[in-house]
Every structure is written in structure tokens, then in C-alpha cells.
Amino acid sequence: MHLKEYSFYALGDSAIVIQLGDQIDPIINAKIRSICEWLDEYTFEGFVEYVPAYTTVTIYYQPWKIGYEELSEMIGEMLNEISGTSELRNKVIEIPVSYGGVGGPDLEIVASHNNLTVQEVVSLHSNINYLVYMIGFAPGFPYLGGLDQKISTPRKANPRSKIPAGSVGIAGMQTGIYPIETPGGWQIIGRTPIALFDLERASPSLLKAGDFVRFKPITEEEFINFTPGDYGY
């Protein structure tokens, strides 16, 4: 894998976007994580921050300290040095989920949309190791890749004003977990008692890009009586 295929474009007057592809793909994700790892170790004068996404890395900078053309040349040299072989983490984090009921009000909608039973949806959703492509939207919110197309379901036409923390949702070919209470339009199929974002932890976000997530169905009673020690959290 090499970082030979890429393009740049400006985002306003203080950011540059590195475009590495046009689809959700583990290989592209590995390239993005290689760039992020490089930026974690080497910065430059005028650097502010970087924001990874599915197919891009956006680098924000101070234009009074470095210009777009100079930065483009610098980044091009940097990309030629990077092998793009960032390894996927072997870490698989098990997330218990109580599917349906009050915590998963859209489970039947997903089942009906795909001509499946509720149990088939649960089985398909919990039978995959999902790659964490990125963290975004809200602190600790994981965008997970690998959803079975059989349970793909569009977002809601009218988003909810409040979705409880821990809610597990589907939007198109994506699945994710709401770490905090927030508005949102994903189809909510269940809820986990695990805290995905906690400022009291040394690393507030439970998940990181490159991790894998596997959902474990639990009963509503197990959800209510959940203790973090049961799963090592």
C-alpha cells in the first residue's frame, strides 16, 4: 500500500484537505491513520490541528505563519515518506446492547424496511466485528464500518431532538453509538449501558480509530443491573 494517489484542496483560507479516495474502505482508512500518526509525531510552525474523516484528513493552520502553497509542498513531501501501512489494531471491544423496547424504538422499523424479523436484525447486527473508522460528530461518537447491507436503513426524515447516551443506531450503511445525549436522525435499535465518553478516564473516549467493536445482545434486566466490572470497564 502506498500513498501515491491523493489530491489537495483548500478549505477556506486556513485549512487544507488531503483527499485519499471516494469510498468507505479499510485500506483508505489505514492510509488516513498513517497520516494522523505522522502528524502526531511531527508538526510544523503554524499547525493548529487535524481532523480525519472517511476519505480525507483536513489540516488546519495559521495562514500568517505558513502559506497554502508552501504547506502543500511540505505535505506532499511528507506523504512520500509515509508508507501507508498503519496496522489495524487487534483490539476488539465488546459492547453489550439491549435491543428493542424503550431503548431501541426503531428496531421494528429497520426490520420492516428490510423484510426481516426483529430477531434477524439483532442477529445480523451483532454478528460482525465493526472497524472504528473515526471518532466525530459528538465527543467519543464512533463511526463503524462493516454493517450488513441486509439491515441498511435510511436516516429518519425528521431527526429526534433528544437521543439518550448509549443509543445504538443505523443510518444507511453505517452504525454507531451516541456517547452523550444529543439530537440525531439515526434509526435507534438498542442501547448500551457502557459509557463511551467519560472525562474522568485517562483517555475519555473508550474507542479509537482502528479498534474493532462487536455488539453483544443483553436483556433489558441485564441492562438495568449492569455493572462496569462485568465487562472490565
CATH number where 77 lies: 3.30.1360.40
Residue 62 identity (one-letter amino acid): Q
Task: Assess contact for 168 and 55: CB atoms under 8 A.
Answer: no
Do 39 and 62 lie in a common domain?
A: yes
Do 49 and 112 lie in a common domain?
A: no
Q: Give the model confidence (pLDDT) of 20-44 as tens digits.
A: 888 888 888 888 888 888 888 888 8
| Number of structural domains in the chain | 2
In a domain, 47, yes or no: yes
Q: Give the model confidence (pLDDT) of 1-25 as tens digits.
A: 455 678 889 999 999 999 988 888 8
pTM, full prediction: 0.81
In a domain, 2, yes or no: no
Which residue, of 81, 112, 139, is where some domain finishes?
A: 81
23: Cβ contacts below 8 Å, ≥ 6 apart: 55
Q: What is the structure's pLDDT at 1?
A: 41
CA distance 45 to 62: 8
In a domain, 1, yes or no: no
Residue 53's pLDDT band, with cuts at 50, 70 and 90, is confident
Which residue, of 51, 81, 111, is where some domain finishes?
A: 81
Q: Give the model confidence (pLDDT) of 109-141 as tens digits.
A: 999 999 999 999 999 999 999 999 888 878 889
